[in-house]
A and B are shown apart, each in its own frame.
Chain A
Amino acid sequence: MTVHLAIAFLSGLFLYQPLINFGLIPSSAEGMSRQPYQALGYSLAGGILIIVFGFSSWILHYLVLGPLKALSLELPLLMLLMWGWHYLMKRTFGISSLVGRHLPFYFLNIAVLGSGLLLIHYTPNGILAALSRAIGIALGFMISNLLISFFREKSERGSFSRALQGWPAYLLVCSIFWLSYHGISLLF
């Protein structure tokens, strides 16, 4: 059982996070990963939201909509669920805390929605495995953003020409991180 959960966690960390799974990077992360401190708040807010949203979307899919045969309603309900968690987090953290300041970026966020959808489509083996994988995905998202921000802070301004600064440099850095994650994911 412990091994099963550990594999679910590690595969979430290295295999199922949106960056590695299909190169998915949220638009807001480009602006938020230029400095590590900014990236920390952004990643924490996203990580917490990914855990709570991902896990609750798994419950919604497998324990509510699946048995009711109402999976066609899933996407609109997932959007409502994401906004519900977003509102709750805003109430919990306020708007001036490190996490709260970055919550507006998550009102509509493809990384959070993508994590929930990945969890639904690739974790059919039990509620604890889903929770474990959701934590892994969130941790992977946070680590990726922080590593990318460290790299960009040191390298982007000096090392890239003006034509490559911003989005192109961000994509190039993400592609390098994707390669390293992909190497590790081949172990699974």
Chain B
Amino acid sequence: MRLPSETKQQLFIKNLFSENGLLFSGTGIFLAVAGTRTTEQAFFLGSICLALILVNSIASSVAGDIFRYRIPLWAMALASAVMLAIIGSAFAARLSHLPEHTVIIMYLLAAGPVVFSRAQAFSHTTSLGRAVFDAAGQGAGILLVMMAVAFVRELIGKGYLAGGPLFSRPPWPMLGLAFGGMLLTALAMAIYRISAPGGRK
């Protein structure tokens, strides 16, 4: 819940930790499950997600604040699809070095509620500054969780640390598969619920 009395910094911190979009409500959970095979993939997809959340929130806030107009969901989704197509073309060479399916997972952001939820629920009714901090907190929170899940998956599933091999054999190769994404995301959510003071019990 967001209160009008909350400062920009409070909005940012709240979205980053105590009401982290992914851990609190499952927003963007497919990114944590499918887009965390390596830390590089998680960083790439999480950054694009953060950028889209920011752009959509800024557009929504400007439209709401200046023109008193609420951008419809379909228009936002279509604009996101166009942006993702441009990103896909611009980063084609880099995408080819990332794990299989990265392009598909990136394109799925166009239909994922994660990139529209803040813009539709909050940004169109508030000032640009508050919308930016709120969106940045949401995107950075998702990116942080993705990086944490990817770090553990890479370390235990592949035996890699910071891109280089740490173990001669991966301790539990299953974590490198989709199974690991689901298991570790479930674990992260359970830990969050037990430990976060404002989290769901």
Tell me the nearest residue of chain A to B101, going by C-beta. Answer: A22
Q: Given known contacts A75-B107, A108-B113, is B33 in contact with A25 (CB within 8 Å)?
A: yes
Give chain A's interface residues, CB within 8 Å of chain B.
20-27, 30, 72-76, 78-80, 82-83, 107-110, 112-114, 117-118, 121, 162-164, 166-169, 171-172, 174-175, 178-179, 182
Q: Give A112 to B111 CA distance when docked, in angstroms.
A: 9
* Interfacial chain A residues near B51, Cβ < 8 Å: none
CB of A75 within 8 A of CB of B110, answer yes
User: Given contacts A22-B101, A110-B108, A163-B194, is CB(A75)–CB(B84) below 8 Å?
Assistant: yes
Contact status of A182 and B84, CB under 8 A, knowing A25-B29, A25-B30, A167-B186: no
Looking across the interface, which residue of chain B has its beta carbon closest to that of A120?
B104
Contact B179 A168 (CB under 8 A): no
Those 4 A-B pairs whose CB atoms lie nearest each other, nearest first: A23-B178, A171-B186, A175-B182, A168-B186
What residues of B have a CB within 8 angstroms of the CB of A75 in the complex? 81-82, 84-85, 88, 107, 110
In Å, the complex CA distance between A118 and B34 comes to: 14
Q: Give which listed residue, A79, A163, A171, A175, contacts B110 with CB less than 8 A.
A: A79
CA of A83 to CA of B72, assembled, Å: 14
Interface of B is mostly: helix
- Cβ-defined contact, A79 with B190, below 8 A: no
Interface secondary structure of A, over-half rule: helix
Q: How many residues of B contact A (CB 8 A)?
A: 41
Bound Cα distance from A110 to B73, whole angstroms? 15
The answer to whether B201 has its CB under 8 Å from any CB of chain A is: yes
Q: Please give the distance in Å from B28's CB to the nearest CB on chain A.
A: 8
CB neighbours (8 Å) of A73 from chain B are: 85
B63-119 CB contacts (< 8 Å) to partner A: 73-74, 77-78, 81-82, 84-85, 88-89, 101, 104-105, 107-108, 110-113, 116
B61 at the interface (CB under 8 A from A): no
Contact (Cβ within 8 A) B111 A168: no
List the B side residues contacting A80 at CB < 8 Å: 78
**Contact among B105, B112, B201 with A163 in the assembled complex (CB-CB below 8 Å):** B201
| Interface residue? B183 (CB, 8 A) | yes
